[in-house]
């Protein structure tokens, strides 16, 4: 098993591979209505090859698929991009659920596993999520995972032909430790 693979009650995460192409592309096509206008995952073989090439064996990126444990079906994907080590030790998360898995809590479990990998084996200290203000599902996932809103970045990312505003969310190892301690003790993490 890969060092970056992990599982929870209902999902498993593992690094994205070229063998994921057919199912990933099919799921992305099925999920167009869910993803638009926020996400544009690869919906054909050539686009997937380009996407995977940027993530597989890249020192500054890690791509994961979230799989349902009972069926092995791809439920979504999560990437850690722009990884910087040294004093910063930070990465930016990107993610998307596939339509058949949306709203079932599978991405919450998958994101928790990726955060564990980022703060554990990958040695990061901080993770960031940049979400468009109208993307309620993405923002809700960030909140559920314990990320805090840190600010607003106008015209931050070029998506679908225009520079889009984004909210900046972040989680650090210290925040995560306080949340875990609070959950064990039953007290708010404040």
CA–CA distances in Å: residue 150 to residues 16, 96, 143:
30, 21, 12
Specify whether the CB–CB gap between 156 and 164 falls below 8 A: yes
Residues 9-34 have a mean pLDDT of 96
Q: In the predicted model, is pLDDT for residue 187 greater than 80?
A: no
> Phi, psi at residue 165, to the nearest 5°?
-70, 150
pLDDT of 21 reads 98
SS3 16: coil
Q: Report the alpha-carbon distance of residue 116 to residue 124 in Å, rounded.
A: 10
Average pLDDT, the chain: 94
Q: Report the alpha-carbon distance of residue 138 to residue 133 in Å, rounded.
A: 9
pLDDT of 1 reads 43
> Phi, psi at residue 148, to the nearest 5°?
-110, 145
Q: Report the alpha-carbon distance of residue 96 to residue 162 in Å, rounded.
A: 20
Specify whether the CB–CB gap between 179 and 146 falls below 8 A: yes
* pLDDT tens per residue across span 64-116: 999 999 999 999 999 999 999 999 999 999 999 999 999 999 999 999 999 99
* pLDDT tens per residue across span 52-65: 999 998 999 999 99
Percent of the chain exceeding pLDDT 70 equals 97
Instruction: Enumerate the β-bridge partners of residue 78.
Output: 64, 95
Residues 158-180 have a mean pLDDT of 94
* CA angle at 114 for the pair 33 and 106, rounded to the nearest 5°: 45
Task: Quote the DSSP letter at residue 10.
Answer: S
* pLDDT tens per residue across span 109-141: 999 999 999 999 999 999 999 999 999 999 999
How many helices (H) and strands (E) would you count in the chain?
6, 8
Confidence of residue 189 (pLDDT cuts 50, 70, 90): low
pTM of the entire predicted model: 0.92
């Amino acid at each position: 098993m890969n060092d970056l693979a992990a599982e929870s009650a209902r999902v498993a995460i593992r690094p994205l591979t070229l063998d994921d192409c057919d199912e990933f592309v099919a799921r992305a096509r099925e999920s167009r209505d869910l993803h638009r206008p926020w996400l544009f995952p690869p919906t054909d073989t050539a686009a997937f090859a380009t996407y995977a090439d940027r993530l597989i064996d890249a020192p500054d990126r890690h791509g994961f698929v979230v799989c349902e444990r009972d069926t092995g079906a791809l439920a979504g994907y999560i990437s850690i991009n722009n990884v910087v080590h040294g004093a910063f030790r930070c990465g930016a998360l990107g993610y998307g659920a596939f339509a058949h898995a949306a709203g079932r809590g599978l991405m919450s479990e998958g994101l928790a596993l990726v955060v564990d990998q980022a703060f554990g084996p990958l040695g990061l200290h901080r993770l960031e999520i940049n979400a468009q203000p109208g993307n309620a599902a993405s923002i809700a996932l960030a909140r559920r995972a314990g990320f805090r809103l840190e600010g607003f970045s106008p015209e931050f990312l070029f998506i679908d032909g225009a520079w889009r505003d984004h909210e900046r969310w972040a989680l650090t190892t210290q925040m995560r430790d306080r949340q875990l301690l609070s959950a064990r003790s039953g007290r708010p993490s404040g």
